[in-house]
Structure 1
Amino acid sequence: MALSYKARRRWSLIILVVGLPIYIVLASVLATTVVRLLGDSGLVFLLQLAIYVGLGIAWILPFKSIFLGIGQADPDADPED
């Protein structure tokens, strides 16, 4: 069942305000753990960069259908509004 435009707007707001900060903290903890385990070298920087870039792209993939078209006008609304 597809979500309505209003439901997608609500869920996108919840995801951005609540879910994304939690995800950022978890990604930071993961990258910091890698540095602690492997020490401080040049390769650790590249691995940490790969973690941040990979997780920065990966968080949106499950939510792509929710965010699609949110910035546009409501397609179900009356044209008079």
Structure 2
Amino acid sequence: MAAGLPAVAEVFAQVDPKAEIEASVADGARLTDSDALLRLSGPARSLITGERTTLNASPIWPTASSCSPPTRRCVSRRPG
């Protein structure tokens, strides 16, 4: 499940305003193995810095992505 995409976009915007981020799916969308989440373009150094920050230094994306599937399961089981 895609979760935390706005936070990822903000990380890249802070690293380099020239970096262009295009989300390929909506935040909260269900994904398959072949789905692309984002398309990024910009200076290589900025993209690598943003990628490392997003995946390693920031708990936002990994935490949001790991919490969203169990939350969706719970909500879908709730009547009404």
Give the TM-score normalised by the residue count of structure 2: 0.35
Which one scores higher on RCO, CA 8 angstroms, separation ≥ 6?
Answer: 1
Higher strand share: 2
